[in-house]
Structure formats: C-alpha cells, structure tokens
Amino acid sequence: MKKLLYASLCLSIVTAAVHAVDFRDHLGLQLYSLRAQTAASTTGALDLAKSYGIKEVEVAGTGSLNPEQFAAELKSRGFVPVSGHFGYALFEKDIAAVIRDAKTLGLKFVIVPYPPVSKDKPFSEEMAHAMAAKFNEWGATCKKAGLRFGYHPHGLEFRPAAAGNGEVMFDILVRETKADLVTYQMDVYWAFITGTDPAKLLAKYPTRFSMLHIKDMLKDFARGTHTGGSPPTAKVTVGEGQINWTEILTAAQKIGVQHYFLEDETTTPLRSIPDSFQYLRALKL
C-alpha cells in the first residue's frame, strides 16, 4: 500500500511539473505587431523580431513572401512558428488551403481571430450557435491533419446572452464546442475591455485555453464595451497600463496555458515591444 501511495504521489508531482509551464519559457511575438515593418520589408521585420531575443512566433500572413519562402526565413532565424491566424471566411471557402499553408509553415495551431460580423450582421446568439457548429467541424478536419484548431475571442463574445442569468455568448461557444476539437486563445485586452476578469475566466474554463495574447490598456480607459474595437491610443506598453499581469499570468500558468504571445497594437511598436518584453521577463509571479 505504501509503495502504491508513493508511486501515486510521484506521478502527481511529475504530472504537475509537466503542466506547470513558466510563461517566460514560451513568451513569443505575434508578428502582426510588426505589420508596418512587414509591409516595408518582410525579411527586415523578421530580423527585427529576432533582435527581441524570442524563439516562438505566431504568424498573421506572410508579407511579400509565399508560405514556403516565409517558412524558410523563419527557420533561418531559429524561430519556432507555433500558431497562425486565418480568417473565418478563408476557413469557410477553402479549409484545405488553410491546412496546406499551416503545414508548410510548420504550425501546430490554426486560429480564427475574429467572428464573421459586419455592420448589417452584428454578433448574436444565433451566430454563436452557428460558429460553435462550424468550429467543431473545422476542428475535426484540422485534427485529422495533425493540427489544433482554435478561436480568439475579440470582445464581442462577452456580451450578455438572452438567458439573463449572467451567461455571456462566449459561454455558449465553450459549451457547444468539443474540448478535443476546439481550443481558445485569450486576448487579455479584449476580454478585459468588456469588464470581464481574465483571471477568473481562465479559472472558470481551466481546460479550454491553450494560448494568451498579451497587450495592456491605458490607465483610466473606460471598460464595459463589446464592440471588438478601441482607439490605438488605448493600447500601451505592457506594465504601463491598468491590467494586473501578475494575477493573470499566475492564473494562466496554474491551468497550464502553453504559449504566450505579445501582440503590440500601440502607436509606437518599436519602443513598446522591447519595453514590454523587458517588463514581462522581469515580472515576479
């Protein structure tokens, strides 16, 4: 009995160690952060990304290069391309092309970054139900291809649902998608701007989030909106805003979030990106 208990304890310790990921070990960059620099020179932007001392990157397009060329440039700089953003419409039109490009780039995750909304078609519960069904379908297809499918909530999904019991539309997405087919990438900023507590949301769904997007919000900027947008000036260097990163990153590590991407949408990325990395690397949890 003692041997059995000891073995069980050892297994628990090993399991905990496997899941306890230090966010600094998987702190990377969403390359969209260098969108202006990529437009000027794709390879120049990748050189700049390398100067930040990162390994892991998330892709959002391949600039002036095709996927094969972009993959070669990533490899030559020692980058590990973990994930990529692909539009909802592209998944609907040609999921085979998404999978082909993702595998060419060497990705593990393919993420839809925004719902199929428009001025005439706002986010709704009906849309949430339809998206959940699509996500299960796409997740199954991606899984067969050796990829993990996920979704990146953008704030619109945290609008209250009609049930009136505190449920929001994101709860519908989580409830109606299968955990083995669909994962979620929390953008801390877009959750926070709605009035949601990101740390509590991570704790509420401890098995559904695999990645985080990190960006900060200007101090005193008003919360409680669900538009999926905000002025560029509302986004600031990480550590200079109002978001409690110690609390959120501790919660993320506790549930085993695997990858953490800085996504800079400030008006001064060339200053903000290195300063944000410096803050995050020095942060004590």
The pLDDT, as a whole number, for residue 163 is 80
The pLDDT, as a whole number, for residue 3 is 47
Distance CA 33, CA 185 (A): 17
Query: What letter does residue 24 receive in the DSSP assignment?
Result: G
Q: What is the CATH number of the domain that holds 79?
A: 3.20.20.150
In a domain, 170, yes or no: yes
SS3 call for 242: coil
Q: How many domains does the chain have?
A: 1
In a domain, 3, yes or no: no
Query: What letter does residue 161 receive in the DSSP assignment?
Result: P
**pLDDT digit of tens for each residue in the chain (285 aa)?**
444 444 444 444 434 444 568 999 999 999 999 999 999 999 999 999 999 999 999 999 999 999 999 999 999 999 999 999 999 999 999 999 999 999 999 999 999 999 999 988 999 999 999 999 999 999 999 999 999 999 999 999 999 999 888 899 999 999 999 999 999 999 999 999 999 999 999 999 999 999 999 999 999 999 999 999 999 999 999 999 999 999 999 999 999 999 999 999 999 999 999 999 999 999 999
Residues 232 and 272: beta-carbon distance below 8 Å: no
The pLDDT, as a whole number, for residue 18 is 45
The pLDDT, as a whole number, for residue 164 is 80
Q: Give the N- to C-terminal CA distance of the chain in Å, as an integer.
A: 37
In a domain, 12, yes or no: no
Host domain of residue 82: 20-282
3-state secondary structure 80-112: EEEEEECCHHHHHHHHHHHHHHHHHHCCCEEEE
Distance CA 80, CA 28 (A): 9
In a domain, 2, yes or no: no
Decide: residue 255, CB within 10 A, 0-12 exposed, 13-18 middle, 19+ buried. Answer: middle
Distance CA 124, CA 128 (A): 6
Distance CA 275, CA 285 (A): 18
The pLDDT, as a whole number, for residue 19 is 54
In a domain, 158, yes or no: yes
Tokens 């000891």, residue?
Answer: 6
In a domain, 15, yes or no: no
In a domain, 99, yes or no: yes
The pLDDT, as a whole number, for residue 15 is 42
The pLDDT, as a whole number, for residue 5 is 44
